[in-house]
């Protein structure tokens, strides 16, 4: 298993413009990462020439693009808005082909007080299936992240996964997005995972509490599931990323050596 870093880990600097996407790629190479997950939010443009430059720069730096990621919402109650998000996801599948990324991280979407859960489930499943088919035809895998709402638990994620029932859809196992006793939840999704996110901490069962994720335990779970893909750092804690990410990378190197 190889270790990459999500651009989201450096979101403050990328949003502020003090770090460019190219700076981020170079920084990851200097830290020692094998790859980068390039989140759609931080691209200056999606013009083909810019995508080509990003791909070329990664190649020159010796850094692979482990995946891309979008911030879609397939649970939107408005059909027109859902269509916009499906079309946006398809566009990013095309961009992923240009970049040479094997996967694209997607969400189910946000639930709110107006959402009818089962109706949202059907809408999300339909959108995922359409995008999975589009991705599969282009050699890309959708990676559905466990991220609250319809994907809060391992069982929730698998219900959606099996409802879609398409080989173009896999799971992005985010180790910090499950709550409480996270390891049985990770065990549930690990056999279907095509990507991962490694967070320093996960949320405790009590609101506002966090605890460090034990990556030796995670390694055992992933080994048992025959997962051989990327471990992508997605740093979200309070300590500055410049200090915390390199240290976390070293910890993961030890756990996954």
pLDDT digits (tens, 9 = 90+) for 170-204: 999 999 999 999 999 999 999 999 999 999 999 99
pLDDT at 208 over 90: no
Q: Which residue has the tokens 């040479």?
A: 100
Closest CA to 211 of 246, 190, 234, 237: 237
17: left (phi over 0), alpha (psi -120 to 50) or beta: left
| Structural Rg of the chain based on CA atoms | 17
Cβ contact 97:137 at 8 Å: no
Alpha-carbon gap, residue 221 to 61, rounded angstroms: 32
Closest CA to 73 of 36, 30, 111, 21: 111
Alpha-carbon gap, residue 18 to 216, rounded angstroms: 35
More confident residue, 208 or 224: 224
Report the pLDDT value the prediction gives residue 61, as an integer from 0 to 100: 98
Q: What is the pTM of this model?
A: 0.96
The dihedral built from the CA positions of residue 122, 125, 128 and 132, taken in this order, carries a sign that is: negative
**What would the DSSP string read from start to end of 171-217?**
EEEETTTSBSSHHHHHHHHGGGEEEEEE-SEEE-SSTT-EEE--HHH
Domain coordinates in residue numbering, the chain: 2-256
Q: Tell me the pLDDT band of 207, cut-offs 50, 70 and 90.
A: confident
Looking at 3.20.20.150, 3.30.930.10, 3.40.50.450, 3.30.300.10, the CATH number of the domain 2-256 comes to 3.20.20.150
């Amino acid at each position: 298993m190889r270790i990459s870093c999500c651009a989201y880990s450096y979101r403050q600097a990328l949003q502020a413009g003090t770090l460019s996407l190219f700076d981020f790629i170079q920084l990851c190479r200097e830290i020692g990462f094998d790859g980068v997950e390039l989140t759609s939010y931080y691209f200056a443009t999606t013009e083909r020439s810019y995508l080509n430059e990003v791909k070329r720069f990664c190649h020159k730096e010796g850094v692979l693009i482990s995946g891309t990621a979008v911030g879609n919402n397939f649970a939107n109650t408005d059909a027109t808005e859902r269509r916009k998000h499906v079309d946006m996801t398809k566009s990013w599948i095309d961009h992923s082909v240009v970049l040479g990324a094997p996967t694209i991280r997607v969400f189910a979407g946000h639930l709110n007080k107006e959402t009818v859960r089962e109706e949202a489930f059907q809408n999300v499943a339909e959108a995922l299936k359409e995008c999975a088919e589009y991705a599969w035809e282009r050699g890309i895998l959708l990676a559905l992240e466990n991220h609250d709402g319809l994907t809060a638990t391992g069982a929730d994620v698998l219900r959606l996964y099996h409802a879609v029932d398409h080989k173009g859809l896999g799971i992005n196992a985010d180790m910090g997005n499950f709550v409480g006793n996270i390891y049985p939840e990770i065990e549930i999704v690990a056999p279907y995972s095509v990507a991962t996110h490694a967070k320093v901490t996960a949320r405790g069962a009590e609101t506002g509490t966090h605890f460090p994720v034990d990556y030796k335990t995670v390694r055992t779970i992933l080994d048992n599931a025959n997962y051989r893909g990327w471990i992508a750092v997605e740093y979200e804690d309070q300590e500055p990323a410049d200090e915390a990410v390199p240290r976390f990378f070293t910890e993961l190197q030890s756990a996954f050596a």
